Amino acid sequence: MKHKLYQGDTLRVLGCLPDNSFNCIITSPPYWGLRDYGMKGQIGLEENLEKYIERVLLVTKELKRVLKKDGVMFWNHGDCYGGWKRGNTHYLNRSGHSDKHFKRLPRKKFKSLMLQQYRLLIDMVDNQGWIPRNIIIWNKTNHLPGPWRDRFTNSYEPVFMLTKSKQYHFNLDAVRVPHKQASIERAKRNRKSSVNGSRDPYNEQSIRISAEKDCHPRGKNPGDVWCISTGQPHNKHPAHFPLKLVEIVLKAACPPAGEVLDPFMGSGTVMEASEKLHINSTGIELSPGSIEINRKRMLPYLNRPNTTLEIKAPDPGHEIKLLDESGNNMIKLLKNWLKKLPWPRK
pTM of the model: 0.80
Please return the burial class of 249, using the count of CB atoms within 10 Å of its CB with bins 0-12, 13-18 and 19+.
Answer: buried
Kindly provide the b/e burial profile for residues 56-83, where b requires at least 16 CB atoms within 10 angstroms of the residue's own CB: beebbbbbbebbbebbbbbbbbbbbbbb
H/E run at residue 95: helix 89-95
Report yes or no: 226 and 136 within 8 Å, Cβ to Cβ.
yes
Question: DSSP assignment, residue 30?
Answer: P
How far is Cα 68 from Cα 163, in angstroms, rounded to an integer?
A: 10
How far is Cα 24 from Cα 259, in angstroms, rounded to an integer?
A: 7
Residues facing residue 24 across a β-bridge: 72, 260
Per-residue pLDDT of the chain (346 residues; tens, 9 = 90+): 999 999 999 999 999 999 999 999 999 999 998 888 788 889 999 989 999 999 999 999 999 999 999 999 999 999 998 875 444 433 333 333 444 445 445 555 788 999 999 999 999 999 999 999 999 999 999 988 888 899 999 999 999 999 999 999 999 999 999 998 887 777 777 665 554 555 544 444 434 344 445 688 899 999 999 999 987 665 555 567 899 999 999 999 999 989 999 999 999 999 999 999 999 999 999 999 999 999 999 999 999 999 999 999 755 444 444 444 444 555 555 556 666 666 554 4
How are beta strands 22-27 and 259-262 bridged, if at all?
Answer: parallel
- Check if CATH label 3.40.50.150 holds for domain 2-176+221-339: yes
End-to-end CA distance of the chain: 49
Cα dihedral 139, 145, 151, 156 in deg (nearest 10): -10
Which 3 state secondary structure label does DSSP give 184? helix
Domain definitions of the chain by residue range: 2-176+221-339, 183-218
Side-by-side strand order, sheet with 67-76: 225-227, 131-139, 156-163, 67-76, 22-27, 259-262, 280-285, 2-7, 308-312
Pick the closest to residue 30 from 45, 9, 8, 12 (CA basis): 45
Cα dihedral 313, 318, 321, 324 in deg (nearest 10): -120
- Cα three-residue angle 181-185-187, rounded to 5 degrees: 115
